[in-house]
Amino acid sequence: MDLNRWERQLPLFKQGSSDQKRLLKAKITVIGAGGLGSAFLYYTAAAGIGSLQVIDYQTVEISNLNRQILYSHHDIGRKKVEAAALRLKALNPGIKIETIDDRLENAVSSIERFGPDVIVDCTDNLESRISLNRLCLQLKIPFVYAAIEGWRGLTGAVYPQQSSCFECIFGDKDSVKKVPPVIGVTPGFAGIIEATVAIKMLLDEKPLYNQILFFDLEAFSFKLLRTKRKSGCGACGG
Amino acid sequence: MGAVPVEVKVIYRDKEWNLKNATTVKDVLKKLNINTQTVLITVEGELVTEDHQLKDGDVVTLIDVVSGG
């Protein structure tokens, strides 16, 4: 197998080319191909993740283009999953991309059939993250999540039955009801952190284990906070 | 001999308060009239629940929940 495309990153991996081959065989399911998903998908496709399952039901709108860098002006009106697949294939023709033009609740059996090594939340709401957290706990698949608003955001990870889960931390929190302001760098930054976490997970590391990274790009503040399983958590049991 | 009074520092957004007699995080939120559903609560760098017992000198940092994407 020709690994020239990845020659600059091979020295970063403990097992060099054999780790790259593991990434090429890996599967990731990504829910949401918006601001978070744009950054996540670009960087995981570039890094050589072999199979990406992309789930999104929306079409590209002009107001998406300040942050959803997978899309161009000529994609307006096109389904996001179609435009995303074309762009990612142009970047790296060797990867497999499965698209699902539907909502998460209608895609669960497709996720199970795909059999991802990691599931990644790139959605824009708390309720979807809670559903995904429960699905990942049920399927025992590691989960990466992120959330953003304005200049601020966070990224975390769930290792089923080992670490704190999403609901241990956010189970009693309120979702933001109004559409929050956002500039592209914020979901871009959070999506890149998610991609970093997922790549490391695929290489048997445990990034953000019982931790959440918070960032504020207005204040240039970055905080790594410790978390723990919540006793009696309604999702993981604590 | 009575219990040692608990005084904690609270940081939220750009403001700081020194609060006396707040023995749990719930007391802090009540004194500042902040809804627990809208913030994440950290004490000395660890996320905690509102029932967390505070010690004298603790620094409580409140972070607004973000949920968009």
3.30.420.10, 3.10.129.10, 3.20.20.140, 3.10.20.30: which CATH number matches B7-64?
3.10.20.30
Establish if A169 touches chain B: CB-CB under 8 angstroms. Answer: yes
Q: Which residues from chain B sit within 8 angstroms of residue A149, using beta carbons?
A: 64, 66-68
pLDDT tens per residue, range A105-133: 999 999 999 999 999 999 999 999 999 99
| A225/B47 CB distance under 8 A | yes
Measured over the CA atoms of residue A137, residue A43, residue A39 and residue A103, the dihedral's sign is negative
ipTM of the complex: 0.88
In the numeric block, the tokens 């204040």 are attached to A219
Domain coordinates in residue numbering, chain B? 7-64
- Please report which confidence band the pLDDT of residue A177 belongs to, taking 50, 70 and 90 as the band edges: confident
Could you give the angle at the alpha carbon of B21 between the alpha carbons of B19 and B27, nearest 5°? 80
Q: Where are the alpha helices (DSSP H) in A63-172?
A: 80-91, 108-114, 126-139, 166-170
| A35/B69 CB distance under 8 A | yes
Q: Which domains does chain A have, with CATH numbers?
A: 4-226 (3.40.50.720)
Predicted confidence (pLDDT) at residue A31 exceeds the cutoff of 80: yes
Establish if A103 touches chain B: CB-CB under 8 angstroms. Answer: no
Residue type, A92: N
Q: Closest partner residue to B67 among A125, A225, A228, by Cβ?
A: A125
Structure letter (DSSP) for residue A227: -
Q: pTM for this structure?
A: 0.95
